[in-house]
Structure 1
Amino acid sequence: MATAPAAEAAAPQGGGKKKLVMILAAVLVLVLVGGGAAVLLLKKKPAEDGEDGAEHAEVAPKAKAKPKSDKPPSFVPLDPFTVNLADKDVDRFAQVGVTLEVDDPKFAEQIKAYMPAIRSNVLMVLAHKTAADLLSREGKEKLAKEIIRESVRPMGIELDDEDEEDPPADAPKKKKKKKKVQVESPVTHVHFSNFIVQ
């Protein structure tokens, strides 16, 4: 009779060891599967970056807007602008920090020589904006294009206004203007360092 309780006590311990072994096996399987997935993902990434020549030849090249230059671009920061906005119902103002990006360092020096005229042009653009114009992303993008156009104007570079829309079909016809030669701006981007509208 003494052997029966000892056999019952040994049975739960054996079942506990089986559960422990099964849990350890499951954890081991999860670690192996996770490690294998990580290895596959890490192997796949260099192939996408173009390190593997055979796979890279099969992938179609992406279209690029401009080839990158060997030298880094030059940045010309402008002093921050504080201007009253054109809102009629409320007095509002904007404080905008602008940095111009140019590809040619010589042109960056030339911009510095024309800085008073450039600042005046940018202030005129900002003064004709309303808070609603400046609060949307589209408004900021349009402002950046206008700043590019106005920043090169003092140097005799005239850029077309891309935002001009075609007149409606029923509008009176105006004299056709001669098509201007497409001029590429030496100022490639406008970066806003701060943008506060109050």
Structure 2
Amino acid sequence: MLRLLKFILLLIVIIGATVAGTMLFLNRTSAGTPDAPAAPVAEAQPAPPPVRAPIFAELEPFTVTLYGEMRNRILYTAITLRLDNEESRKQIQDYMPEVRDRILKVLSAQQLAQIQTPEGREALSQGIRASLSRPFAAQLPGPQIEDVLFTAFVVQ
């Protein structure tokens, strides 16, 4: 009986040593070996500049008549401008009657078949952007418009 007890105790010590050795080996390979030289510290790179909040100018909706070959249609659209800076937003607000006039001229010149396609809407967006980017006064630069966003677009 004593011999059996010694054998079981020896077996437990061998199993414990095996488990301890395995744990030590796994910890070394996952965390890097202590004898290996430390990886070179990467040079401190400056933090990326913070992302600035977008500047939007929401315009009142527009309703224009589109003249077609068979019959006329109505275009109702709401537009929001994404601007580059606060000066551009102030300029858009200060010259709002002229802003609306320029947009109405671009919208009313559109062909029905053209604006019903994604490519046509993109061309319309670019046309509005080009029209509004021109200076409103000779001594001022034009507003810096990043994008023209259609928040509503209905043709009836």
TM-score tier after normalising by the smaller chain length: 0.5 to 0.7
Aligned to 2:69: 88
* Partner Cα distance (1:94, 1:141) in 2: 16
2:132 to 151, 161, 166: 151
* Partner Cα distance (1:142, 1:86) in 2: 18
Structure richer in strand, relative to its length: 2
CA drift of 1:131 comes to: 1.4
Letter of the structure 2 residue corresponding to residue 113 of structure 1? D
Task: Give the secondary structure class of the aligned counterpart of 2:75.
Answer: strand
Task: Give the secondary structure class of the aligned counterpart of 1:71.
Answer: coil
Aligned ranges for residues 133-172 of structure 1 at < 5 Å? 133-155=114-136
Aligned to 1:189: 147
1:97 to 62, 78, 85: 78
* Partner Cα distance (1:108, 1:184) in 2: 11
Task: Give the secondary structure class of the aligned counterpart of 1:70.
Answer: coil
1:126 to 102, 107, 132: 107
How large is the RMSD of aligned CA atoms in angstroms? 2.5
Q: TM-score, normalised by structure 1?
A: 0.49
Are residues 1:110 and 2:91 paired?
Answer: yes
CA drift of 1:104 comes to: 0.4
Aligned to 2:55: 74
On the 8 A contact 1:118/1:152 being kept in 2, the answer is no
Structure number with bigger Rg? 2
**Is there any run of 5+ residues in structure 2 with no aligned partner, and where?**
1-47
Which stretches of structure 1, 4 residues or longer, exceed 3 Å deviation after superposition? 67-70
Task: Give the secondary structure class of the aligned counterpart of 1:109.
Answer: helix
How many residue pairs match? The answer is 107
* Partner Cα distance (2:120, 2:144) in 1: 22
